[in-house]
Structure formats: C-alpha cells, structure tokens
Structure 1
Amino acid sequence: MEKKVLVTGASGFIGSFLVEGGLERGMQVWAGVRKSSSRKYLQDSRISFAELDFTDSDRLEEQLKQHKLEHGGWDYIIHCAGVTKCRDKADFEIGNYWATRHFIETLMRLEMLPEQFIYISSLSIFGPIREKDYSPICEQDTPCPNTAYGVSKLHSEEYLQKLKDFPYVIFRPTGVYGPREKDYFLMVESISRHVDFAAGFRRQDITFVYVKDLVQAVYRAIDKKVVRRAYFVSDGYVYNSRTFSDLIQKELGNPWLIRFTCPLALLKVISFFAENIARLFHKSSTLNLDKYKIMKQRNWQCDITPLEKELGYRAEYPLERGVKEIIAWYKKEKWL
C-alpha cells in the first residue's frame, strides 16, 4: 500500500522538489497549497492537492477536518511552508512559529498525527558563532539567532522539542540553491551583466546544499524511521566567499567582471535605507537589515557527521556540479 505524504509549501522552491522526491519514491503525494498558489512546478498528474490556509487557524481546522473525512490522514508530513521575506519582522513569528504551532495543535485535536513530522528549519537559528576559530557549528552549540527569520525558526524548533513523544525530525540546511530558486539567481544575473559583489574584507567560510541533496536527506529520514532528531544539511564542503561567483563566471563562459567589495559598515547603511524605503511602499526588500546580518556572518560551517552516520547521507552535488546544472536550467528556461 502506498504511503501518503503531505508536503506543505509545495508551490515553493524547496517544496516543489520535495513533491517530486516523493513521487520518485512511489509515494502518494499530497501538495499542500493555498488557493492562490502557483502550480507551475506541480504539473504531474499523480499529485493530489490539499488546500491549506495557514493564515487562518479556524479555516485550517475546517480544511483538515474535511480532508480527514474524505481521505483520512497522512503517514508523513513534511512541513516546508513558511515565510522568508516580510515587510514587518513580526510577520516572521506569525508565518513561521505561530502557523506551525496552530497546524500541529489542530492535527493533534483531529487525531491526524503522522508517523513523522518533518520540519524544514535553517542553519540561521545558530547565528554568528564560532567565528574566531572557524570550526563547524554542531548540535551541542547553543542557538543564538540574530535575525527575525532565525528567531522564528528557533521558536518553532523549541516548540516541537517540548512536545512529549512528538515524532518530529528537524532539518537545518545551510544555503539551499538549485533550479527555480530566485535569490541566488540575482547573483547569476549580476555576473552575467559583468558585476560581482562581495560583503566585507574578512575571511568568510560558506557552505551550500543543492536542493536535490536536501530532498535526499529528508527521504532518508523517512526510510530510516528516525524521530526526535535534528540534522544539519550541507554538501560536506567548505568554500571561500569567491568560489560560488567564480564557478558561475566559468559556466557563463567567463564574461569580464568588475568586482566590488563593500565594507560592512557601508552595507549596513545601504540595507537600512533599502528596508525603510521598501516599507514606505508597503513592499519587502531583498536587501534589508536581516539580510545584512546574514551577509556579515563569517562562519557557515556545520557538522553533518550525524546525518552521514545515522542516515547514510552522501551529497551527490558538490558546488561545481550544482552550479553547472542551475546555469543550464536558467538558460533553458530563458531566465538568462
């Protein structure tokens, strides 16, 4: 009998790949979407859809109640829904922590708890630590987030971990990139226009994970039936701040480049004004004070040893292979 998995946030970048990962493994996949969500990358006829409104707890309860009546529950839930950009910092707490909490409380009330509840968190919950010796962040470290996004993800993790016997699995990916992703694409687009930008002059160690490797890690956790565990996810390598842009430049055919390194003090001022100007127009800005703090952070190393030992994870996409694939996709889709 096919196992049923719900992927929330299925219309998003990571969510759409998680849906594909479930289909590839022969599962019955339900894509959790809003009524207004784009289904551009959810065209496979095998996908079932569940409309879920995380902004309205009463509406969400009605939707889940109706789903249980018609289809039953799910064996696994991968909770990828959330917010990464907000006009108001308080919206991170609402969209990430409170929405997750209401969802779980509703599942418990309706007796719809799955065998595993997989939560996609972030390395950002740890903030700028281990920056003196540049050693990997590990699970014994104390989280110290310095962004509203990181704080909201940490609050969600703490809530999950306090629930007695709750079958959570938490994944804390570093920077996730791949086809369909728009933030890293801004760098690709800039380099294609002959401009490269770096933040700060001090050493910066960066880590990445290709989206398909994150998907691999999630489904390995399902296969291994682990519960009440949290894992960092990266490709296992550490890169300097220039590696990503150098690989992009190479795949684009080595266009000539003007490279700018912005002092962090100046970047903070620019971020402040960008955030507040966007707020005046009731918009969210890609460059803001939270983004500044992310660019300022010097150490993004993380220890994936538990992921490798417990789940048998091995990244299939080191950065060079991943960049090659995304540039080919951007060209194919005429983003470039």
Structure 2
Amino acid sequence: MVKKILITGASGLIGGILIEHLSKNPNYDIYGIDKHIGLSIRYELEKNPSILQKQQPILPSKDKFYICDMNDKNQLSQIIQDNKINIIIHLAAVLETETVENINSINCHGTKTLFDIATKQDHIEMIIYASSTMAVFGYLENEPYLSLTKNVQPKQMLKKITVNDPPMPSHLNQSVEAYCNSKIYGEELAKKYASNDEINIKFICARLGCINISDNPSRVYYWSDRSTWCSHRDLCQFVDRVLENQFKLKKFQIYFVSSNNDFAWTDFDNCRQDLNYAPQDGAHWN
C-alpha cells in the first residue's frame, strides 16, 4: 500500500532533501506544507552566493503542496483529513536566530497543534519529529566538550551523550536557549502522547546533527557542529530505515542522527541496533 507522507516545513533545506529523495520511491506519495514558497533563512545563513543563486525550493507537485501556518488549526486539520495522511515528518520550525516569542509560537505551540490534530486521526500511523542535537548543547559548556567550541582537539576521549542522558539546553543567549528548550518540549510532548494507550501513533524523535546546504563538513567552522555533522545521504538513509522498520519500532524513541565524524560526542548505537543505520560519510579533523 502506498503511504501518504506529509512533510511540514517543506520549503526548508531538510524538507527539500527529503522531498527529492522520497519522491523517487513509488511506495510513497509526498505532500508538503509551509507558510511560504521561498527559500528558508537557513540558506542565507550559510552565506554561499553561488549556491543561493542556483537554489530553488524543492517542493511536491502543486496539487500536493499547501501554504499553511503551523498554528492554523482548521486548515492543518483539513489538509491531514482530506488527504488521509499516514505519516508526518514534522520539520517546520523557526531557527535560533529568531525571537523567543516566535520560537515558542511556532516550535512549541505549532508542534502541539499538529500533534493534537494528528492524534485524533485514525489514519495517522507515525510522526517523525525533527528534534536537534541542540537539545543537549548545554554539555558543550563544560570540558571535555568545551574544547570543541574553541576548535581545540580534545586531550581525552569524549564520553558520548546517549538518549538516556538528560537533555541540557545551551545558555549562549536567550534565543538559543529557547530553541534548545523548544526541541526538548517537542520530545516530551511526543513521549506524553505515546504513553497514552488510546493513541496508536508512533513517535520517532530524530535529534538531527548539523546539516548544511553544500553537504560539505569543511564549510562548518566550529568542531562542536562539525562533530555532529550529518550528510544529506546519511539523513536520507536514516529516514528510509525508520520508514522500512516502522512496524518493528517502539511507540516512542529518540535517536541521534549524524555521520561518522571524528570526536563525535553524541551516541547513535540505538540507531544502529534498531534501524541498522550505518553512516556512509563523515567529518575528519585533518
């Protein structure tokens, strides 16, 4: 049976990568929503004019793409119901460059709106929630992880943070802290819904590493980000593995998603074990 997949934040970088990849699979019918059809701000942040001039959002066909705000409960509900969506890949979020108010409105309230709607639909089977390694970026504020933020090679082996370690937001500034907390909030909300026996939806929280436009770790300056870098190919592999193993997975799970990087400090052993995820790429110190 063909699965109908809705991707929120479809005009963003990760949305475009996944739309292009998943659309090649005849087993998936891809839908998308975003509040606009322009390039997301992430493209501007990488500051690569040659890429920006060529890049256009990669979107589903016009009849399967909707302009919709994440807080528009009525329209969001209508899109999900009318198209009998089976799987939601929830990417829609504003970045840590936004105000605290906007972060809380879209990343927190918008996510709750989506989850509230989805959990009332019998045809929804799974939600893949795009969390972030920034949910644990607070660990970078202390050694031995602090060295990575200064591009200093650590003098000792790094104990890897696992999904069983407590989340820890960064305190770099108010917006960054709000962004980190918004991802932690999304995970906790997913866990709450998954613990409800009356809800049969599976919630997979993907703590995505640093994904950049050029798909090149050398364009990521700080090793705190480069050590969590995730290639486009490894991102697509992860999503493929989740979709292929959907019925074997627990009702709630968190995974760190990154490539095979030097001085990696987040652990994805459960990703290997549950999904047979094997990164093909990596960032190397030298």
**TM-score, with length taken from structure 1:** 0.63
Letter in 2 for 1:143: P
Cα pair 2:32 2:59 within 8 Å, conserved:
no
Q: Is residue 308 from structure 1 mapped to residue 244 from structure 2 by the alignment?
A: no
Letter in 1 for 2:256: F
Instruction: Sort the Cα spacing of 1:90 and 1:44 in 2 relative to 1 into closer, same or farther, 3 A.
Output: closer
Instruction: Sort the Cα spacing of 1:82 and 1:61 in 2 relative to 1 into closer, same or farther, 3 A.
Output: same
Instruction: Sort the Cα spacing of 1:99 and 1:204 in 2 relative to 1 into closer, same or farther, 3 A.
Output: closer
Cα distance in 2 for residues equivalent to 1:153 and 1:115: 22
Instruction: Sort the Cα spacing of 1:105 and 1:45 in 2 relative to 1 into closer, same or farther, 3 A.
Output: closer
Q: 1:82 aligns with which of 93, 101, 114?
A: 93
Q: What value does the CA root-mean-square deviation take over the aligned residues? A: 2.9
Cα distance in 1 for residues equivalent to 2:283 and 2:24: 24
Q: Which residue of 2 aligns with 1:245?
A: none
Instruction: Sort the Cα spacing of 1:216 and 1:85 in 2 relative to 1 into closer, same or farther, 3 A.
Output: same
1:46-57 to structure 2, matched below 5 A, reads 48-54=64-70, 56-57=71-72
Q: 1:114 aligns with which of 111, 119, 124?
A: 124
3-state SS of 1:128 partner? helix
Instruction: Tell me by how many angstroms 1:52 deviates.
Output: 2.4
Q: 1:41 aligns with which of 25, 50, 57?
A: 57
3-state SS of 1:176 partner? coil
Cα distance in 2 for residues equivalent to 1:88 and 1:44: 30
Cα distance in 1 for residues equivalent to 2:225 and 2:20: 34
Cα distance in 2 for residues equivalent to 1:308 and 1:47: 37
Letter in 2 for 1:19: I
Q: Is residue 105 from structure 1 mapped to residue 135 from structure 2 by the alignment?
A: no
1:223-238 to structure 2, matched below 5 A, reads 223-225=244-246, 226=249, 227-238=251-262
Cα pair 2:260 2:280 within 8 Å, conserved:
no
Letter in 2 for 1:124: M
5+ residue gaps, structure 2, are 40-55, 145-156, 171-176
Cα distance in 2 for residues equivalent to 1:112 and 1:123: 31
Q: Is residue 159 from structure 1 mapped to residue 189 from structure 2 by the alignment?
A: yes
**How many correspondences in the alignment?**
239
3-state SS of 2:23 partner? helix
Letter in 1 for 2:188: E
Instruction: Tell me by how many angstroms 1:317 deviates.
Output: 2.1
Q: Which residue of 1 aligns with 2:30?
A: 29
Cα distance in 2 for residues equivalent to 1:96 and 1:45: 26
The answer to which of 90-99 and 131-140 deviates more is 131-140
Q: 1:208 aligns with which of 218, 222, 229?
A: 229
Cα distance in 2 for residues equivalent to 1:43 and 1:205: 28
Cα distance in 2 for residues equivalent to 1:214 and 1:302: 16
3-state SS of 1:50 partner? strand
Q: Which residue of 1 aligns with 2:10?
A: 10
Cα pair 2:209 2:258 within 8 Å, conserved:
yes
Cα pair 1:51 1:63 within 8 Å, conserved:
no
Cα distance in 2 for residues equivalent to 1:131 and 1:302: 15
Cα distance in 2 for residues equivalent to 1:210 and 1:218: 13
3-state SS of 1:319 partner? coil
Q: Deviations over 1:38-84 (max 9, x none)?
A: 27332665982133211x43xx3234325524x3x211110011011
3-state SS of 2:33 partner? strand
Q: 2:179 aligns with which of 136, 145, 149?
A: 149
Q: Which residue of 1 aligns with 2:212?
A: 177
Q: Larger radius of gyration, structure 1 or 2? A: 1
Q: 1:94 aligns with which of 105, 109, 112?
A: 105
Cα distance in 2 for residues equivalent to 1:96 and 1:85: 10
Cα pair 2:256 2:268 within 8 Å, conserved:
yes
Instruction: Tell me by how many angstroms 1:108 deviates.
Output: 3.2
3-state SS of 1:65 partner? helix
Instruction: Sort the Cα spacing of 1:238 and 1:108 in 2 relative to 1 into closer, same or farther, 3 A.
Output: same
Q: Deviations over 1:255-277 (max 9, x none)?
A: xxxxxxxxxxxxxxxxxxxxxxx
Q: Is residue 65 from structure 1 mapped to residue 78 from structure 2 by the alignment?
A: yes
Instruction: Sort the Cα spacing of 1:79 and 1:112 in 2 relative to 1 into closer, same or farther, 3 A.
Output: farther
Letter in 2 for 1:217: F
3-state SS of 2:30 partner? strand
3-state SS of 1:29 partner? strand
Letter in 2 for 1:216: Q
Cα distance in 1 for residues equivalent to 2:222 and 2:58: 35
**TM-score, with length taken from structure 2:** 0.73
